[in-house]
Amino acid sequence: MTIQIYALLIAAILPYVWHFASLPLKNKQLGGLDLNEPRARHGELLGSAARAVAAQANAWEALSLFAVANLAAFMAGVDPEGNWALAAMIWIAARVLHGVFYIADIAPLRVACFGAGLAMSIWILIMSLG
């Protein structure tokens, strides 16, 4: 079960990683950050800054499905040393690379990583059924 806990920890931290990656990019484009309304000017962002903000939002969305899938696997008694651990490790690799490719504007690889992460969450849910 240790792998799954580490995977969930990394998954929970990833949105913050992309947030902090976006700060210098946003600061450069907007000329500073508005601490009173930090999201008010997100619509003005372009390029890597906009993609970093989108990577953060997507990481939050992916985290919810991954967390639910892991909870279902735990409650169903799925063997934590088997395919569940493999799926969790692949999910982490795919989601880290997803953010990197998103910010770097490598869309085909970003989409492939998104699909791989989604497939791993679905696979974990399917393991919970059997």
* Mean per-residue pLDDT, 22-37: 87
Q: Is the pLDDT of residue 39 over 90?
A: no
pLDDT in tens, 66-93: 999 999 999 999 999 999 999 999 999 9
* Residues 103 and 20: beta-carbon distance below 8 Å: no
CA distances (Å), origin 106, targets 17, 56, 95, 96: 19, 16, 14, 14
Q: Are residues 87 and 124 in contact, defined by beta-carbon separation less than 8 angstroms?
A: yes
pLDDT tens readout for residues 14-29:
999 999 999 999 999 8
Task: Supply the pLDDT for residue 25.
Answer: 93
**pTM of the predicted model as reported, rounded to 2 decimal places:** 0.92
Domain 2-129 has CATH 3.40.430.10: no
* For residue 30, pLDDT beyond 90: no
pLDDT tens per residue across span 97-113: 999 999 999 999 999 99
Average pLDDT, the chain: 95
Could you state, in order of their start, the residue ranges of all structural domains in the chain? Answer: 2-129
| Contact of 84 with 51, CB cutoff 8 Å | no
